[in-house]
Amino acid sequence: MQRPTPTWTLPQLMWVRENEPENYARIDRIMFTKDYVRSWLTGDFCTDVVDAQGSLLYDAREMKWSPELCGMIGLPIQTLPEIRLSKEIVGHVRAEAARLTGLPEGLPVIAGCSDTAAEDFSAGATKVGQIIVKLATAGNVNVVADMANPHSKTFTYPYSIEGLWYTVTATNSCASAYRWLRDSLYCGDKAACEKNGEEVYRLMDEEASSVPLGARGLIFHPYLLGERCPYFNPKARGDFFGLSMVHSRPHFARALLEGVAFSLYDCLQVLADFNRNLEDIAIIGGGAKSPLWSQIICDVFGLEVKFPRNAESSYGGALLAGVGAGVFQSEYEAAYKCIKMNKTYVPNMENHEKYLKYYKIYKEIADASFPIWENLALIANE
């Protein structure tokens, strides 16, 4: 289900086994971060299906730890935690934890889930085909599915709602690219804005909005940290293409917002390969607070985009806890009663058609750059 990367537990354990064999031999239990914290509260030793899948040690078909995968690295299965549903109560706050935290002793605690699964749930993703676009350090385009969809360009996990899955696509540089532009071209303005209690990103958005669609032919590829979907190429590099004397700082800001939107559109196209009804979209993350950026993405996608009122992983976790504790009868009831939308962005289809022309050129530039990226990497490593 997963493309092997150093992000996951199995490759990390392989590294420890090879480079620190004495520590590998001492492994008694393997716990994910949230599970370690919860274990301190309750004394349980378990994880949820989402994080289990992300370890690369989980057999998604049999819904248990894989003896074959564990055997590849000589890992006893008993070192791995019991696997539970995200909403399940797995323990209660112990007396000592209650004394130190102020939480009531005996308070029920659920298994929980990954930040992305909780965040997607908090944005109202409860039905097959619903999409979450996340504008954070990296960018994500995720879709809820009723089955696993193995694909070389995506990551697939069981969802926080039993019986559903979610498929993840990602671009490496999203809000981090905008921050890079801030630090590179707006460093003086940043200090001035902070002195006045203002946010420099608002100035950047204002400048970007003063520039027409397409930034007068300036195209940005946000591959500042290589790229994941659709290329999975660590040698990919960012660029501003089409630069001329007509361009100034506002054009760079506009081109960057549009370039990230094109990269997210790349992700959407991958999901469209196996999901035909991609129409219900919510946008979340720090970047989603920018109406300009959200509207650009809406226009590039050519689809309505909703902005939820409370789209945070902590909110999604709280709703799941409510389900586990019986406050809500199901995740669907929790979503219906508690998840609201602040705004809906409607696409300008004339802008969408123009963006498709720019997107075609964006793709042509990227495709033509593969040998250039390779040659740059060779020279840089000499």
pLDDT by residue (tens digit) across 206-240? 999 999 999 999 999 999 999 999 998 999 999 99
Cis peptide bond prior to 234, omega within 30° of 0 = no
Q: What is the DSSP letter of 81?
A: P
- Do 157 and 212 have their domain in common? yes
Which H or E run includes 84? Answer: strand 82-84
172-183 per-position pLDDT tens digit: 999 999 999 999
Whether 204 is in a domain gets the answer: yes
Whether 327 is in a domain gets the answer: no
Angle (CA) 192 194 196, round 5°: 75
Distance CA 133, CA 175 (A): 13
Side-chain-side CA neighbours of 168 within 13 Å: the count stands at 25
Write out the E strands in 259-370.
Answer: 281-284, 305-308, 341-345
- Do 368 and 244 have their domain in common? yes
Q: For residue 131, what are the domain limits?
A: 115-313+334-382
* pLDDT at site 283: 98
Distance CA 341, CA 318 (A): 18
CB 13 within 8 A of CB 19: no
What's the average model confidence in pLDDT over 77-90? 97
CATH number of residue 107's parent domain: 3.30.420.40
Amino acid sitting at position 66 = S
Q: Is 255 exposed, middle or buried (0-12, 13-18, 19+ CB in 10 A)?
A: buried
* pLDDT at site 340: 96
Which H or E run includes 359? Answer: helix 349-380
Whether 323 is in a domain gets the answer: no
What's the average model confidence in pLDDT over 334-343? 96
Whether 320 is in a domain gets the answer: no
* pLDDT at site 273: 81
Distance CA 278, CA 280 (A): 6
Bridge partners of residue 153, in order along the sequence: none
pLDDT cut 90: percent of the chain above it: 85
Structural domains of the chain, count: 2
Distance CA 81, CA 20 (A): 23
- Do 25 and 123 have their domain in common? no
Whether 37 is in a domain gets the answer: yes
286-303 per-position pLDDT tens digit: 999 999 999 999 999 999
Mode of pairing for the β-strands spanning 165-171 and 139-145: antiparallel
Place of tokens 């009122």: 309
Side-chain-side CA neighbours of 77 within 13 Å: the count stands at 12
- Do 56 and 4 have their domain in common? yes
- Do 108 and 201 have their domain in common? no
Distance CA 227, CA 231 (A): 6
Whether 50 is in a domain gets the answer: yes
